[in-house]
A and B are shown apart, each in its own frame.
Chain A
């Protein structure tokens, strides 16, 4: 009974290896076309992609919250670490740079200056490092479920944003404790955070794509982040150090202020610390980076949408 069938099946088994690929492909592709079948992996257009992402907003939010909840679920102090971690960080840096190295001589209210810089920089640093791992660390999910892949770096940034809201409470309290007055400028803090978040989303999208293929990025990232930290004027005032101490021309400081992290730090200090004055163009730098990174990041990430998950 199975005689003719096994014969054909055996013939098939040998078939694909010696069949010529070009002539063999034609009928199936045409058949697919005739029935209106589409390629399983095809990148949607950017507007469609953004709409799909919007439809997945519940997943993004739930995923971000879930990661935050599960992050500290094994420690005894639990969610308290969300406050303790930034607090301990600030304490250590203040001890190092404020008391031991004595970098604080020229800066008024150095604790507030340092803590503000630290918290703002940490937000960008964690969002970007998280974004770099968001694709390469979730390959199993990418290989099992359908969703616009940008949901992952986005969720990682939102996770950091949720933590930031807690850190911001800590920051406000600390800055007030150091004797800064509560001014109308504080009302602009949410605007600054929105701009920084836009930049963070864009930057983490870019690094997510880079990290998906360049495996060594995760190992190199700590170096890059540390360099960035030192270059962003978290511990010192860029203008003061570059122009007054090193005797370099003003444009060097201006170039350094173009660094997005430095700009967002300066902006926040400007709002929170009364005695702190900064360059007048800081707002435009912040807006530029927010818009440029967000648009560029989405575009760059979307271009490789169908390639994520290959390994």
Chain B
């Protein structure tokens, strides 16, 4: 915390000509002149994300002729498109060695912000600058419930960008870590929810990342697996340069992060030392 105020005061001292900018571009627009401090790995610059949401128009609707005609008739003069301004002007700088927790209520834009940092959601305005390729820890979307665990492990590994040798190397590791045993030969639709979650986590955490983004509810399953997965996350955190973590479990954030950003309605409400921010967040 002393470090933080020191940084802030330096900003003010260095930029006397632009009084309003120093507050905006917190934590520090200038690189630290001290080489011991981390270099920036992720810079988020006045980021705005706008989602377009369609009311009744879902992709699940099967396209036969009668349906399509009805929709065309019904839609006349009644556009069902809605825009949701999920992230409204967020700016911050993350440095090498940072583990940044992101807290906020449901719908405050946490996941959206992380996806934008990962380069998966195009910004409406503003920009995200990164060193290397930030990766989201999560592979669920590529897996298919009807397929066996074995096939899903291979598919998931390829989806994360591994090559065949890496897949072969990791395969047994993944099966062991997930602890699902012979169920790996059965379709994932037959798994209990805990088994499914374990396998998904095991696949997702099999790859190393420079900038790692972890979205909440990863450490699921029984107590034993929770311990194992938290250990795995810790290990990944050490290997990665910068980590972003979203979790509703504030203890986890306080334990693992050295900085916390509090998002509220798409804006940064507070940014700083975990204890302080979490205390303020709990009060709100």
A and B from one complex: yes
Contact A13 B270 (CB under 8 A): yes
Central interface residue in A16, A20, A226, by most chain B CB within 10 Å: A16
A60 to chain B, nearest CB (A): 9
Given contacts A19-B20, A32-B40, A32-B45, contact A13 B142 (CB under 8 A): no
B215 to chain A, nearest CB (A): 9
The answer, yes or no, to whether A36 is at the interface (CB within 8 Å) is: yes
Most chain B CB inside 10 Å of its own CB: which residue of A28, A36, A73, A221: A28
In angstroms, Cα B117 to Cα A70, docked, is: 33
Contacts of B117 in A (CB 8 A): 40
- Residue A284 lies at the interface, judged by CB distance under 8 Å to chain B: no
- CB of B233 within 8 Å of the partner chain: no
Q: Known contacts being A27-B29, A145-B136, A219-B71, is A5 close to B276, with CB within 8 Å?
A: yes
A28-B91, A32-B45, A146-B161 given as contacts; is B272 within 8 A of A9 (CB)? yes
Residues of A within 8 Å of B30, CB to CB, are: 27, 31
Interface flag for A240 (CB, 8 Å): no
Q: Is B39 an interface residue (CB 8 A)?
A: yes
Instruction: For the complex formed, measure the closest distance between the CB of A48 and the CB atoms of chain B, giving whole angstroms.
Output: 14
CB of B47 to closest CB in A, whole Å:
10
Closest to A56 in B: B161
Tell which of A5, A28, A144 touches B29, judged by Cβ atoms closer than 8 Å: A28
A222 within 8 A of B: yes
A142 to B, closest residue via Cβ? B120
Binds A, one of B150-158, B175-183, B248-256: B150-158
The reply to whether B43 and A28 form a contact with Cβ atoms under 8 Å apart is: yes
Given contacts A35-B131, A219-B68, contact A146 B24 (CB under 8 A): no
Q: How far is the CA of A66 from the CA of B150 in the complex (A)?
A: 11
Complex CA distance for A74 and B145, rounded to whole angstroms: 11
B120 with A144: CB separation less than 8 A? yes
Residues of B within 8 A of A17 (CB): 89, 267
A133: which B residues are within 8 A, CB to CB? 59
Which of the listed residues B43, B128, B145, B187 has the most CB atoms from chain A within 10 Å of its own CB?
A: B43
Query: Bound state CA distance, A183 and B65, in angstroms?
Result: 41
Q: How far is the CA of A145 from the CA of B160 in the complex (A)?
A: 7
Decide yes or no: A146 and B133 within 8 Å by CB, A37-B43, A40-B128, A219-B67 being known contacts.
Answer: yes
B33-61 at interface with A (beta carbon < 8 Å)? 39-43, 45-46, 51-54, 57, 59, 61
Are A219 and B63 in touch, CB under 8 angstroms?
Answer: yes
Q: Which residue of A lies closest to B64 (CB)?
A: A222
Contact of B161 among A2, A39, A147 (CB under 8 A): A147
How far apart sit A226 and B159, CA to CA, in the bound complex (Å)? 35
Check B68–A311 contact: CB distance below 8 A. no
Interface centre among A36, A37, A67, A215 (most CB of B within 10 A): A37
Q: Does B271 contact A (CB under 8 A)?
A: yes
Q: Which of the candidate stretches A167-175, A199-207, A302-310 sits at the interface with the other chain?
A: A302-310
Q: Is the CB of B67 within 8 A of A31?
A: no
CB <8 Å contact, B128 and A145:
no
B131→A36 contact, CB < 8 A? yes
Question: What are the residues of chain B within 8 A of A12 when measuring CB–CB?
Answer: 23-24, 26, 268, 270-271
Q: Which residue of A lies closest to B29 (CB)?
A: A27
Q: Check B247 for interface membership: any CB of A closer than 8 A.
A: no
Query: When the two chains form their complex, are residues B121 and A310 in contact, meaning their CB atoms are under 8 A apart?
Result: yes
- B163 located at the interface, meaning its Cβ lies under 8 Å from any Cβ of chain A in the complex: yes
B positions within 8 Å CB-CB of A: 1, 4-5, 8, 18, 20-21, 23-26, 29-31, 39-43, 45-46, 51-54, 57, 59, 61, 63-65, 67-68, 71-72, 75, 88-91, 93, 115-123, 126-131, 133-136, 138-142, 144-147, 151, 154-155, 158-161, 163-164, 187, 264, 267-273, 276-277, 279-280
6 shortest interchain CB distances as A-B pairs: A219-B68, A40-B119, A32-B129, A27-B29, A37-B129, A141-B141
